[in-house]
A = this chain, B = another copy of it.
Amino acid sequence: MIKKRKLGRGVALVGAGMSKFDMFKDRDSKDLFLEAFQNMLASVDKGCNPQEIDALYVGNFTNDFFVHQSHWGAILSDALSFVPRPATRTEGACASSALAFREGVFAIASGFYDAVLVGGVEDMSKGSTEEVAEGLSLAAIPYESQVGFTFPGVFGTIATAYFERYGASRDHLMNVTIKSHENAARNPKAQLNASMEDVMAARIKRAESKGRPTPTWIDAKAFLNDPRANPAVAWPIHVFDCCPISDGASCLLLVGEDIAKNFTDDPLYVAGMGQGSGRGLHAAQDLTSFEATRYAAHEAYEMSGLGPKDIQFAEVHDCFSIAELLHIEDLGFFKAGEGYKAVEEGHTRLEGSKPINTSGGLKCKGHPVGATGAAQLVEVWTQLRQQAGQRQVSGDLKFGAAHNLGGTGGTSTFTILERR
């Protein structure tokens, strides 16, 4: 059904950087994006004069609503001293900066530009809980929010359907959470830079400092099963199944494949790229699969000539733990209904056969929504170039991928990077 996609000019990735992800009281989008930009510049092996960059694409989802300011292309172009060079904002809810990446690829592949900065930024933590909940609901398909669905509600419903259909349980969601924390403990940029053991130790310390009885959890699952430690949000989704509210930024430098070696002897290449759209829960034939993701994956695999087996590790959009299970199935890494078993068997751990969310994922690295898609590709860059330190996937890495989801499945992207 899907035509074979190709690019008339190859596109390479020659730099990548991100800000620390966290909730910052005193940092705004410009400040965060500048940190990501500086880190990106520092990552370009042979250096990059910012004057060489032809254009900027920036993904942002909620700044209109949360900080009452739109037109971030122009504002960031000014902040980076790019004026009068062009800047464009893309928006696809939580997939906003994967869309920016894609437009940067097209702009270069078209022959129009040679070097394009792409990235994303989000500044979510300044609003009240109510404002944040309302703002995020703008991403959902209207039919969902109008009947009172929240994001945890949607993913709780999906989890229930998945449990019912395939025999999984909350225990299997916990395996995802525990693995995310394991990885994030090794990622200094992560917002929740702590293993489950660290989390439990901190809770015990806090209880003791307040003179409360010392909690006694025999392991992480006991903690996650303790309703005081990990209360339900929308059953079976509990607090530790949810990504946090985050501020942060990420960016990448794309150039024509033909000039990549001017920037580094070790560029990465865009091997495959796909994007799809979806209708939302009200119209889903199957609550345990995202049509948009399957389409995006198909497009990217077709373009690259690769299949799921060739992808050695991936970042996937784990806005909730259940989402990770669906995605690793929709992307073809595991068969439908077998993702939760693969996670249980350790296949998705750092030392497993298919490491997933080595960064800690949205759950622990954080999810500044507009920054996430590009930040996932920063992790793929870091892993492929063997620069991930304590969380480095072992072995010779050639293909890594990132999957980004917008809203409740309205937009989905899949991008395969190659190291030659």
A residues adjacent to B (C-beta < 8 A): 3, 5-9, 54-55, 61-62, 64-65, 68-71, 73-75, 77-78, 82-93, 99, 102-103, 105-107, 109-114, 134, 138-142, 273, 275-280, 283, 291-292, 294-296, 406-407, 410-411
Q: Is the CB of B277 within 8 A of A74?
A: yes
Given contacts A105-B110, A110-B109, A406-B71, contact A86 B277 (CB under 8 A): yes
Other-chain residue from B7, B54, B406 in contact with A110 (beta carbon distance below 8 A): B7
A139 to B70, CA, bound (A): 5
Q: B277 touching A82 by the CB < 8 A rule?
A: yes
How distant is the Cα of A280 from the Cα of B74 in the complex, in angstroms? 9
Q: Tell me which residues across on chain B come within 8 A of A7, comparing CB atoms.
A: 110-112
Docked Cα-Cα span, A58 to B262, in Å, equals 35
- The answer to whether B71 and A410 have CB atoms under 8 Å apart is yes
Task: Report whether B8 and A84 are in contact in the complex, using a CB–CB cutoff of 8 Å.
Answer: no
Asked whether A6 lies within 8 Å of B111 as measured between CB atoms, the reply is yes
Interface centre among A69, A112, A277 (most CB of B within 10 A): A277
Partner among B69, B106, B273 whose Cβ is within 8 Å of the Cβ of A142:
B69
Q: A411 contacts which chain B residues (CB < 8 A)?
A: 71, 73-74, 86-88
- Are B84 and A294 in contact, CB atoms less than 8 angstroms apart? yes
Name A58's closest neighbour in chain B (CB-CB).
B91
A78 nearest CB across to chain B (Å): 5
Task: Give 10 CB contacts A-B under 8 Å.
Answer: A5-B113, A7-B112, A55-B275, A61-B70, A62-B70, A71-B91, A71-B407, A78-B141, A83-B276, A109-B110
- Within the complex, the shortest CB–CB distance from A295 to chain B, in Å, comes to 4
Bound together, the chains give a CA A261 to CA B71 distance in angstroms of 37
Known: A9-B8, A106-B112, A111-B109. A277 touches B70 (CB 8 A): no
> Are B84 and A291 within 8 A (Cβ)?
yes
Closest to A5 in B: B112
Contacts of A277 in B (CB 8 A): 73-74, 77-78, 82-87
Query: Which of B6, B83, B86, B139 sits near A112, CB closer than 8 Å?
Result: B6
Tell whether A138 pairs with B105 under 8 Å between CB atoms, given A9-B110, A276-B84. no
* Cβ contact within 8 Å between B138 and A71: yes
What separation, in Å, do the CA atoms of A387 and B198 have in the docked complex?
71
Whole-angstrom CA separation of A71 from B296 in the bound complex: 17
Q: How far is the CA of A106 from the CA of B118 in the complex (A)?
A: 15
A112 to B109, CA, bound (A): 9
A193 vs chain B, min Cβ distance (A): 30
The answer to whether B90 touches A89, judged by C-beta atoms less than 8 angstroms apart, is: yes
Partner of A70, one of B83, B93, B103, B273: B93
Chain B: which residue is nearest A100 at the CB level? B88
Docked pose: A78 CA to B283 CA in angstroms: 10
Separation of A239 and B410 alpha carbons in the complex (Å): 41
CB pair B112 A407 closer than 8 Å: no
**Chain B residues, Cβ within 8 Å of A85:** 276-277, 295
A92 and B64 within 8 A (CB): no
For A91, give the chain B residue with the smallest CB separation.
Answer: B89
- Can you name the residue of chain B whose Cβ is closest to the Cβ of A134? B68
- For A112, list chain B residues within 8 Å (CB): 5-7, 106, 109, 273
Give the distance in Å from the alpha carbon of A167 to the alpha carbon of B92 in the complex. Answer: 47
Query: Which residues on the B side are within 8 Å of A103 (C-beta)?
Result: 88, 103, 106
B-chain residues with CB within 8 Å of residue A86 when the two chains form the complex: 275-277, 295-296, 411
Please name all residues of chain B whose beta carbon is closer than 8 Å to the beta carbon of A65 when the two chains form the complex.
64-65, 70
